[in-house]
A and B are shown apart, each in its own frame.
Chain A
Amino acid sequence: MEIRRQEDCIEISELDPFLAELLRQVPESTNTEGVESAQQRLFSSPAPASEREMCAEWKLYVEPELRRLFHTATQTVALDLQQLNGSTKPFANCTLRIPAKNSDAWLNALNQARLVIAAKYNFSEADLCDHYRSPIGSRRDLGLFQVNFYGFLQEFILHGLEKE
């Protein structure tokens, strides 16, 4: 895999089928359905539990806004990822171009995905710092690899934003 910054996009080329599949899974990985801990993390409480009125108002008025924001970011990423479906050869390497204007949406969706996966598998800080674990052990190990791979992409996008 090669990743480089172009004038108006980030180009990820020589994407092998495995990494391309991990990228395709970004939108799906943001789904919190059935994962209570992930829902609690994405829609965390705005105040201590003693502030009951504030927390209730937040659920009513702010949470729907946040849901909309997260959904829009995920949709933008899903549209960009359609580039990966164009290849005629099933196991060929492919290229993904992330438009610079979509950087914020990518940062948000990658973050959602990382938080949901981490909540789902209950990763500890020690787990998250283990960058050498093979992804070919269990679904959990693959999840850890996904979190770190998405983190790497976030770092690259952030680095570009700093230069702007």
Chain B
Amino acid sequence: MHPPLKLSVESPAIEQETRTAEERDLPWQVVVHNDPVNLMSYVTMVFQKVFGLTRENAERHMLEVHQQGRSILWSGMRERAELYVQQLHGYLLLATLERTS
């Protein structure tokens, strides 16, 4: 017969989260910036692929980038916004993640 098992569980190390929950949950926005090299048709195609926009909507954002220098493509939770920016960088677009003011 086995002796009763003595279970000793060490206290788990709790990692310090440097950001507060409030900071993490603030809406973030995905901003695409103008660059003279990327073709307009290419940028439109990328917006359609990444954000599932209609052709008209994608073109509207592309023209906003071209004329105003930037366009906000999406806003919401940080994790998803990061994924969008990563995808946009994969297509070589100039995109950033910014806190909604």
- Shortest Cβ distance from residue A160 to the other chain B in the assembled complex, whole angstroms: 11
User: With A62-B89, A66-B89 as given contacts, are A158 and B41 in contact (CB-CB < 8 Å)?
Assistant: yes
User: Are A46 and B39 CB-contacts (below 8 A) given A66-B90, A108-B91?
Assistant: no
Residue from B36, B42, B85, B97 in contact with A128 in the complex, judged by beta carbons closer than 8 Å = B36
Question: Chain B: which residue is nearest A159 at the CB level?
Answer: B41
The answer on a CB contact under 8 Å between A155 and B36 is: no
- Please report the total number of B residues contacting A with Cβ < 8 Å: 21
Binding site for A on B (CB under 8 A): 18, 35-39, 41-42, 45, 82, 85-86, 89-92, 94-98
Q: How far is the CA of A7 from the CA of B60 in the complex (A)?
A: 32
CB distance from B2 to the nearest CB of A (A): 45
Known: A46-B82, A115-B92. A125 touches B36 (CB 8 A): yes
Complex CA gap A47/B97 in Å reads 5
Whole-angstrom distance from the CB of B94 to the nearest CB of chain A?
A: 6
Across the two chains, which residue of chain A brings its CB closest to B36? A125
> When the two chains form their complex, are residues B45 and A118 in contact, meaning their CB atoms are under 8 A apart?
no
Docked Cα-Cα span, A77 to B92, in Å, equals 17
Main secondary structure on A side of the interface with B: helix
A111 touches B41 (CB 8 A): no
- Contact check, A48 vs B42: say whether CB atoms are below 8 A apart: no
- C-alpha spacing A29/B53, complex, angstroms: 32
Is B90 a contact of A48 with CB atoms below 8 Å?
A: no
